[in-house]
A = this chain, B = another copy of it.
Amino acid sequence: MPGAEPWSSAPDPGGETAAERAAAAVTSVCTGLIERAGPACVAVKPQLARFEALGAPGWTALEAVCAASREAGLLVIVDGKRGDVPVSAAAYGDALFGFTPTPWGEVEGLGADAATLNPLLGTDSLEPLVERAAAVGAGIFALVRTSNPSAADLLDLETGAGTPLHERIAALVAGFADDLAGSDADGLSGAGAVVGATEPKFIGRLRELMPRAIFLLPGVGAQGGAAEALGSAWTSPAAALVTASRSLVGADDPGAAAEELRAAVWSAAGA
């Protein structure tokens, strides 16, 4: 959530190094944003790169933002797009959802309610993460078709059967539906998918291929997507989440901007 503008306008929050001061400012800006926009939201999606760029103090800020989100009654979706070979995927799972046993006691991870994952390395790269998410009732959002202009380079390539790569990934994600099944009467699964709002033409087909997946729809606002075009993502009111970052952080009144987006999303969802 932190952007260029909040840095420069934040009062010096104290700390010794530039990283500590910046991390404290990020925490303050994010916490303020959660207070103002939170009532119109269901989740907070911290982008890990921004925190990592501030080193260890950035990671402390990340933990503080996750804690503030939980205190505000919001879910935490950690946006790191992790993906790795099984042994390392397991470590990412510990970091995101679980804990690391050490001779001096368990070290808790971020306690995420969900995390974005990169599925490029295939089934066995997701399994350890799904397993750790399942153990704590958390979910995943695998990148299926992203919102950036170059997403078409690989994700839209036609594979042998005349099927674009993103549909192959959708099938892979759907294969985890039972592993992360909720108790919901609507049959939704925490084996979710990131589907960019910038190319709404794909959403209907992806919904067919992943009937139970919760969709995470980035790209509304700064990236040009419109909530109105996303209707086919919803099979029930909880079936999709629309994310917005820069358009809220940069708004004069983030609370009003979030309320406006919420209204547009509910309308698109047909709720």
Question: How far is the CB of A195 from the nearest CB of chain B, in Å?
Answer: 13
Residue in B closest to A49 when the chains form the complex, CB atoms: B91
Whether B107 pairs with A54 at a CB distance below 8 angstroms is yes
Q: Which of B53, B100, B159 contacts A54 (CB 8 A)?
A: B100
User: Given the complex, which residues of B lie within 8 Å of A60, measured CB to CB?
Assistant: 55-56
What number of copies of this chain does the assembly contain? Answer: 2
Question: How far is the CB of A56 from the nearest CB of chain B, in Å?
Answer: 4
- Contact mask A79-101 → B, CB, 8 Å, 1/0? 10111111111011011000010
Question: How far is the CB of A153 from the nearest CB of chain B, in Å?
Answer: 3
8 more CB-based (< 8 A) A-B contacts, given A21-B102, A157-B160: A17-B107, A18-B105, A47-B84, A56-B56, A123-B150, A124-B148, A153-B172, A159-B160
Whether A154 pairs with B165 at a CB distance below 8 angstroms is yes
User: Given the complex, which residues of B lie within 8 Å of A109, measured CB to CB?
Assistant: 53, 55
A228 at the interface (CB under 8 A from B): no
Residue in B closest to A118 when the chains form the complex, CB atoms: B118
Q: Which of A118-171 contact B (CB under 8 A)?
A: 118-125, 143, 146-155, 157-160, 165, 168-169
A-B contact pairs, 25 of them (CB 8 A): A7-B102, A7-B103, A12-B103, A18-B102, A21-B104, A22-B100, A22-B102, A49-B82, A49-B92, A49-B94, A50-B88, A53-B91, A55-B63, A55-B109, A56-B63, A79-B88, A81-B82, A83-B118, A86-B148, A122-B153, A153-B172, A154-B168, A154-B169, A157-B159, A158-B159
A40 at the interface (CB under 8 A from B): no
- From known contacts A7-B102, A94-B53, A119-B154, infer whether A107 and B148 are also in contact, taking CB-CB under 8 Å: no
Question: How far is the CB of A173 from the nearest CB of chain B, in Å?
Answer: 12
A254 at the interface (CB under 8 A from B): no
Q: Complex formed: what's the CA distance from A86 to B147 in Å?
A: 10
Whether B54 pairs with A56 at a CB distance below 8 angstroms is no
Residue in B closest to A119 when the chains form the complex, CB atoms: B154
- Contact mask A13-29 → B, CB, 8 Å, 1/0? 00001110110010000
- From known contacts A81-B84, A118-B83, A118-B118, infer whether A125 and B100 are also in contact, taking CB-CB under 8 Å: no
Residue in B closest to A84 when the chains form the complex, CB atoms: B81
A8 at the interface (CB under 8 A from B): yes
Across the A-B interface, the 4 shortest Cβ-Cβ residue pairs: A122-B153, A122-B150, A49-B91, A124-B150
User: Given the complex, which residues of B lie within 8 Å of A47, measured CB to CB?
Assistant: 84, 88, 91
Residue in B closest to A148 when the chains form the complex, CB atoms: B85
- From known contacts A49-B92, A165-B165, A169-B154, infer whether A121 and B146 are also in contact, taking CB-CB under 8 Å: yes
